[in-house]
Amino acid sequence: MECPKCNSSMNEIKDTAFSALKCSGCNGIWFRDGSHELARSIEGIEAIDDVKTNAGAAYNPVRDIDCPECHKRMIKMVDRSQLHIEFEACAYCNGVFFDAGEFKDFTEFSLIERVKQAIDTFKSNVRT
């Protein structure tokens, strides 16, 4: 399978409870059939998205991509709780593509973000 962003080959991530492939070029990760939701709950899973270079960042703005399996145009998504995380999803096979480093971010709904959300909620309660 070829990476939808950089056309490098993608390799199956082995020994996991979900089905995903990682790009050998940009380090983006393709999760089959919405398996990123299952993957995110696995302890230590962020190790699969251990990015040592910034190579993937160049592909962040590349968002008009076709599903590597269905070859249909994918939908641009943002994570509801972390709006800076943008990813692409396929409406046909439910596959999801994360740029390098984004999946790791997705698994870490960080303490700072939780606190910020709590403060925002508090502020809006005070205002009303």
Residue (88 or 105) nearer to Zn ion, CB: 88
- Quote the least distance from Cβ 95 to Zn ion, whole Å: 5
- Quote the least distance from Cβ 88 to Zn ion, whole Å: 10
Residue (33 or 79) nearer to Zn ion, CB: 33
- Quote the least distance from Cβ 71 to Zn ion, whole Å: 8
Strands (E), the chain: 10-12, 20-23, 29-31, 75-78, 86-89, 96-98
Interface with Zn ion by CB under 5 A: which residues?
3, 5-6, 8, 23, 25-26, 28, 67, 69-70, 90, 92-93, 95
Instruction: Please list, residue by residue across 3-32, b when 16 or more beta carbons sit within 10 angstroms of its beta carbon and e when fewer do.
Output: bbbbeeebeebeeeebebbbbebbbbbbbb
Among 54, 12, 28, 53, which Cα is nearest to 106's? 28
Residue (19 or 109) nearer to Zn ion, CB: 19
